[in-house]
Amino acid sequence: MQNFTLDSSMTAAIGGAFYPTGHSFIMFPEAGDARAVGRKLEENGVPTDAVYLVPPEIVLSQITPTTSDADNPLPSAGTEGAVVRAYTKLAREGHTGLMVRTEDEEDAERVMEVVRTVPYSIAQRYRMLVIEDL
């Protein structure tokens, strides 16, 4: 499991909001559950470099600011700003994120099989032009 650091490949081309295409982002009320799910995914064969732990302070310092220009110069036609605002609300309540590379439907389902073993607050899969609820 890696520590998360936002880079330009994780933002939308227009507006710059958080949009990590090819990944799923899940938040958990308990940090221990996020870590346990990350470890279990790695034990089940997900590569270590495909799993990122995102503590609440990192959500707030790196992901939240990406919405500042999401609606500039025009209001966003997508939901990426609203989703980041949902992550921000949860992070302020202490929820921890886990970002996992999920390049296809099978990857996403394998991840969610493990995620569903513990309480989670939100799970989104980022595909080209689509943010999918998991």
- Look-up of token digits 């990192």: 58
Contact of 81 with 16, CB cutoff 8 Å: no
38-74 pLDDT, tens digit per residue, is 999 999 999 999 999 999 999 999 999 998 654 444 4
Q: Which two tokens stand for residue 56?
A: 């609440």
Residue 57's Cα: distance from chain center in Å?
Answer: 14
pLDDT of 4: 95
* CB neighbour burial string for 100-123, b if at least 16 within 10 angstroms, e if fewer: bbbeeeebbebbbebbeeeebbbb
Q: Dihedrals φ, ψ of 2, to 5°? A: -100, 160
Is the pTM value of this prediction over 0.75? yes
83-130 pLDDT, tens digit per residue, is 999 999 999 999 999 999 999 999 999 999 999 999 999 999 999 888
pLDDT of 84: 93
Q: Residue 12 is part of which domain span?
A: 2-133
pLDDT of 128: 86
- As for how many domains the chain has, the answer is 1
